[in-house]
Chains A and B, each alone.
Chain A
Amino acid sequence: EVQLVESGGGFAQPGRSLRLSCAASGFTFEDYAMHWVRQAPGEGLEWVSVISWNSGRIDYADSVKGRFTISRDNAKSFLYLQMDSLRSEDTAVYYCVKGGATIYGLVDYWGQGSLVTVSS
């Protein structure tokens, strides 16, 4: 059974940093691209970032480019999202999502999400 468990969310002031982690199990982690998708309170889904199976290809939404950094550790089956220069509009539940064989493939399994609140 695919399991994705996010951690590291919480409260941060504008301009500060947070690092999200996602522990993956139930599938061969190193074979798949992984994504972060976020959802602001009461709003829809916004794709944030993707990383290929070998970290060779990475992409970001324009809204986080230059501030967020995605990375992965295939040996530990972990996905990360380093979030710097946080803004109030980054407040959202952040989901770790399993992708396909490439960064353009279907996303299928989602974690339960980690809430990030940015406020002064």
Chain B
Amino acid sequence: EIVLTQSPGTLALSPGEKATLSCRASESVASNNLAWFQQKPGQPPRLLIFGASDRAAGIPDRISGSGSGTDFTLTISRLEPEDFAVYYCHHYDTSRTFGQGTKVDIK
């Protein structure tokens, strides 16, 4: 089973700043089968990124994904108030694992 480790656990930033979230896999992720989800309190997760770098429908271009192999990054170029949430990376393939999450908090 592929283990996903996200860092940092919490990121305290101000609106307008850039957020960089990391997801490291315990072994190489085949075909970049890596997704990112956003979750706000009391809501289900929402798909942001799939295939490591493809944006899901309706996701603004200030949110982007990159990486391959074992190291992946979610970048939010300029934080908007609605971006403060918890973000999970997810390997969708044989192991179907989630990272433990990174909380983006208002500074």
A101 sits at the interface (CB 8 A): no
Interface band, chain B: 20 to 34
The reply to whether B98 and A45 contact each other, CB–CB distance below 8 Å, is yes
Q: Are B44 and A47 in contact (CB under 8 A)?
A: no
B contacts with A: majority SS: loop
* A17 on the B face (CB < 8 A): no
Q: How far is the CA of A108 from the CA of B2 in the complex (A)?
A: 20
Q: What's the least CB distance linking B80 to chain A, in Å? A: 22
Q: How many CB-defined contacts (below 8 Å) exist between A and B?
A: 45
| Contact A44:B101 (CB < 8 A) given known A105-B92, A106-B35, A108-B56 | yes
Q: How many residues of A contact B (CB 8 A)?
A: 18
Task: Name the residue of chain B whose CB is nearest to the CB of A95.
Answer: B44
- CB closest chain-B residue, reference A96: B44
Which residues of B are found within 8 Å of A111, using beta-carbon distances?
A: 44
Answer whether A112 and B44 are a contact pair too, CB < 8 Å, given A105-B92, A106-B50, A106-B92: yes
Which residues from chain A contact B14 at a C-beta distance below 8 Å? none
User: In this assembly, does B90 line the interface, its C-beta being within 8 Å of a C-beta of chain A?
Assistant: yes
A110 within 8 A of B: yes
With contact pairs A105-B92, A106-B35, A106-B50 given, residues A47 and B45 touching in the complex (Cβ less than 8 Å)? no
25 residue pairs bridging A and B, Cβ less than 8 Å apart: A35-B96, A44-B88, A44-B98, A44-B101, A45-B88, A45-B90, A45-B101, A47-B96, A47-B97, A47-B98, A50-B96, A95-B44, A104-B92, A104-B93, A104-B94, A105-B92, A106-B35, A106-B47, A107-B90, A108-B50, A108-B56, A109-B47, A110-B45, A110-B46, A112-B43
